[in-house]
């Protein structure tokens, strides 16, 4: 039986990451819909109620974790799609660089927004 030689590519890790993060994101989304929209709270979702939740360190941690997980899942998925279509090495490098810059920008500024949110 033939086996591949050389260093592992890490493809198994990212394949598993996409599946697990997709499952976790789906679970969080369904939990959100149930808690907010089906328990009767959808009539009461106001800026004040969101502001009260964002004061809690628990909700800030949960929101930042969700932001990081969703961004990494989405950007890696976009990278895999673009990797199928662009064959030139310089184009792949440029797209990968743009995705990294965009992801860092969005995660950093999203985290700053969540962390610095204060009730006044």
Domain hosting residue 23, numbered range: 12-115
The secondary structure of 61-73 as a DSSP string is HHHHHHHHHHHHH
The answer to whether the beta carbons of residues 67 and 114 sit under 8 Å apart is: yes
Please indicate, yes or no, if residue 110 is contained in any of the structural domains. Answer: yes
Please indicate, yes or no, if residue 3 is contained in any of the structural domains. Answer: no
Task: Note the pTM of the prediction, 2 decimals.
Answer: 0.77
Q: Where do we find the tokens 């799609």?
A: 81
At residue 49, the pLDDT reads 78
E strand segments, the chain: none
Collapsing DSSP to helix, strand or coil, 24 comes out as helix
At residue 62, the pLDDT reads 85
At residue 47, the pLDDT reads 82
Q: Which two tokens stand for residue 39?
A: 């328990």
The tens place of each residue's pLDDT in the chain, 120 residues long, gives 455 555 556 678 888 999 999 999 999 888 878 877 777 666 677 888 788 878 888 888 888 988 999 999 999 999 889 888 988 999 999 999 999 999 999 999 999 999 988 876
Residue 28: which CATH number? 1.20.1300
Number of domains in the chain: 1
At residue 41, the pLDDT reads 63
Please indicate, yes or no, if residue 7 is contained in any of the structural domains. Answer: no
For residue 109, how many C-alpha atoms fall within 13 Å in the half-sphere facing its CB?
6
Give the separation between CA 92 and CA 83, rounded to whole angstroms: 7
């Amino acid at each position: 039986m033939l086996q591949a030689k050389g260093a592992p590519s890490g493809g198994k890790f990212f394949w598993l990451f996409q599946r697990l993060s997709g499952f976790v994101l789906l679970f969080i989304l369904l939990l959100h819909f149930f808690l907010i929209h089906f328990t009767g709270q959808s009539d009461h979702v106001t800026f004040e109620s969101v502001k009260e939740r964002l004061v809690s360190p628990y909700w800030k941690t949960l929101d930042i974790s969700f932001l990081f997980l969703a961004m990494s899942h989405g950007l890696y998925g976009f990278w895999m799609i673009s990797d199928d279509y662009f064959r030139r090495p310089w184009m792949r490098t440029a797209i990968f660089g743009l995705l990294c810059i965009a992801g860092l920008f969005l995660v950093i500024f999203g985290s700053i927004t969540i962390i610095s949110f204060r009730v006044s």
